[in-house]
Chain A
Amino acid sequence: GAVVSQHPSRVICKSGTSVKIECRSLDFQATTMFWYRQFPKQSLMLMATSNEGSKATYEQGVEKDKFLINHASLTLSTLTVTSAHPEDSSFYICSARDIQDQETQYFGPGTRLLVL
């Protein structure tokens, strides 16, 4: 089956530092990857859509200069949280859509970010 990995699974950092999260599709190619954020007891909220070789599309209210997304290859997208603050602490989840199947999204295991 389609497998998506994320790294790191958990990160604790000091306020003001930047954190990079990697999302990889392991056994398929993905022209499109998605980044979600989930706060406790809430559903997933789409942050941005990442397209290979082009600029990401950000949802309303998501600061593109704070959440930098790079999708340099068909199997890798990265999300960098710049100058992280405690309110950025959340569960960040990526998903990838198989180039062969434009309907189904496969989710990574998520990255739990805690900013002190």
Chain B
Amino acid sequence: QKEVEQNSGPLSVPEGAIASLNCTYSDRGSQSFFWYRQYSGKSPELIMSIYSNGDKEDGRFTAQLNKASQYVSLLIRDSQPSDSATYLCAVISSGSARQLTFGSGTQLTVLP
């Protein structure tokens, strides 16, 4: 069974700190990885996509991918209270359907 695992949290960090969110996946053939942010009562919003090993930076966000370890992470620098949300890791698994498989999400709270 293809799975995506996340620590459900809640994760609390003080304002200005670095928030680190982690995700592991079971399908070794997965090629595409995404981080979505979901505010309470809203639909997911794409933050980052990453396809190759290493780091990818976009503003305060850095996604890290290690395919050998089947691990993907998201770092949020200079965390703001507005970053408080649930962060969903999603993976496109191998196979023709190209469906997204979501983790259960990590709830992040940034304390002012």
Find the B residue at minimum CB distance from A42.
Answer: B104
Contact of B49 among A93, A95, A103, A109 (CB under 8 A): A103
| Partner-binding segment picked from B16-24, B55-63, B95-103 | B95-103
Contacting residues, chain A, for B97 (C-beta < 8 A): 49, 57
Whether the pair B99, A46 counts as a contact (CB closer than 8 A) is yes
Contacting residues, chain A, for B100 (C-beta < 8 A): 34, 46, 95, 105
Interface residues on B, range: 20 to 34
* Main SS at interface, chain A: strand
Q: When A42-B104, A46-B100, A57-B97 are in contact, do A106 and B42 touch as well, CB less than 8 Å?
A: no
Give the size of the chain A interface in residues (CB under 8 angstroms). Answer: 22
Whether the pair B102, A104 counts as a contact (CB closer than 8 A) is no
Contact of B42 among A32, A95, A103, A109 (CB under 8 A): A109
Contacting residues, chain A, for B49 (C-beta < 8 A): 103-104
Whether the pair A103, B32 counts as a contact (CB closer than 8 A) is yes
Distance of A19 Cα from B41 Cα, bound (Å): 20
Interface residues of B in 46-95 (CB under 8 A from A): 46, 49, 51, 88, 92
Q: Which residues of A contact B (CB under 8 A)?
A: 32, 34, 42-44, 46, 49, 57, 91, 93, 95, 97, 102-110, 112
